Copies of this chain bind each other. A is one copy, B any other.
Amino acid sequence: MANYRLTIQYDGTRYGGWQKQPGEKTPSIEGKIEDVLARMEPDMGYPVHVIASGRTDAGVHARAQTASVHLETRRTPEQIRACLNAYLPEDIGVTDVRPADERFHARLSAVRKTYVYRVAVDPAAHVFDRKYMTPLSELAARLNLPADAPWSEAALRQTAALLCGTHDYGAFVTRRTKKSTVRTVEHIDVTVTPDEIRLAFTGNGFLYNMVRILVGTLFEAAYGVRKPASVTACFDRPERALSGFTAPAKGLTLWNVEYPAN
C-alpha cells in the first residue's frame, strides 16, 4: 500500500462541492474520483478514501486542488493519472499524480492556500470565463444597489489590509464549530482592471464559506455600505451578523495549495 499525491483541476458548476453528501443526488468531486479509483483496483480490500486539502463548497472551482490517497496498485503514477482522466468527466482533470511520503496528508500537511475570487466589472468582456466569475452587478444587487452604483477601490484596498493578520475569524463562518476559528490570512491581493476585480487570498487555512464572506464584507466596504474600520469588530466578537453577505460561489477558485518542500 502506497501513498499518492494528486493535483486536480475542476469546474465546480454542476457539483455539490468536493465532499460526498450522503443521500444527496448532486455529484461530488470526491465521489467521482473515488469511484474511478475503486473500479481501477476492485480487489484492494479496503475502500478508497481520497483526502483533499480542504472541502470546496458547492459551485466553487479548483485550479490546483491537492489530495492524498492510499492505494494498493501495480500501476505507475502516470498510469493512475491516465486511468483517472480516461474515466472522469471532462469537467474534472487530474494534472499530476506522484508518490508521496507515507506521512503526507493533503489536509494536515498543507501550510498555505490561495483562493482567487474574480469579479467581472464588464461581463461582456469575459464571455469565455463567465462560469468562473461573478458579475459586479450581482454583488451590487445583493446590497440592493443599482448595477452602476459607484464603488471605491481605496475602500476595497483599505478593508483588505484590515482583514489580514492572525485573528479569530469566527464571524466569517457559516457553520458553528467548537474548534478554533483562529486563522492567519497572510495577504489579500487586490487587482483592478477596467473590466475585472481580482481578489487573491493567501493564508494558512480558511473556514467554511470564509472566503466568500470576506468577499461580501469587502464589497460592502467598497460600496460604502459599511466603513472599512468596522470590520475589526468582527475579530472581537465571532458573530456572523457582524460580517458581510456570502458572495456567490461561482466566482471562487481554489488556486493553489502549498506544502513543505519535503
What residues make up the interface of A, taking CB atoms closer than 8 Å to B?
9-11, 61, 63, 81, 85, 90-95, 122-130, 132
Are the C-beta atoms of A130 and B95 separated by less than 8 Å? Answer: no
Nearest residue, chain B, Cβ from A120: B93
Contact of A123 among B93, B122, B127 (CB under 8 A): B93
Do A95 and B123 contact each other (CB < 8 Å), given the known contacts A128-B132, A130-B90?
no
Are the C-beta atoms of B85 and A127 separated by less than 8 Å? Answer: no
Nearest residue, chain B, Cβ from A130: B90
Contact of A9 among B10, B11, B125 (CB under 8 A): B125
Give the chain B neighbours of A130 by CB distance below 8 A: 11, 90-91
Are the C-beta atoms of A124 and B94 separated by less than 8 Å? Answer: yes
The docked-state distance in angstroms from the alpha carbon of A91 to that of B93 is 24
Give the chain B neighbours of A61 by CB distance below 8 A: 128
The docked-state distance in angstroms from the alpha carbon of A124 to that of B129 is 17
Are the C-beta atoms of B91 and A124 separated by less than 8 Å? Answer: no
The docked-state distance in angstroms from the alpha carbon of A123 to that of B90 is 8
Which among A63, A95, A123 has the highest number of chain B CB atoms within 10 Å? A95
Give the chain B neighbours of A124 by CB distance below 8 A: 9, 81, 85, 93-95
Apart from A11-B128, A63-B128, A128-B129: 9 A-B pairs, beta carbons within 8 A: A9-B125, A11-B127, A85-B123, A85-B124, A90-B123, A91-B127, A91-B130, A93-B125, A95-B125
Give the chain B neighbours of A10 by CB distance below 8 A: 127
Give the chain B neighbours of A126 by CB distance below 8 A: 93
Chain B: minimal CB distance from A121 (Å): 12
The docked-state distance in angstroms from the alpha carbon of A125 to that of B91 is 10
Are the C-beta atoms of A90 and B127 separated by less than 8 Å? Answer: yes
Which among A61, A91, A94, A125 has the highest number of chain B CB atoms within 10 Å? A125
Chain B: minimal CB distance from A236 (Å): 40
Nearest residue, chain B, Cβ from A86: B147
Are the C-beta atoms of B129 and A92 separated by less than 8 Å? Answer: no
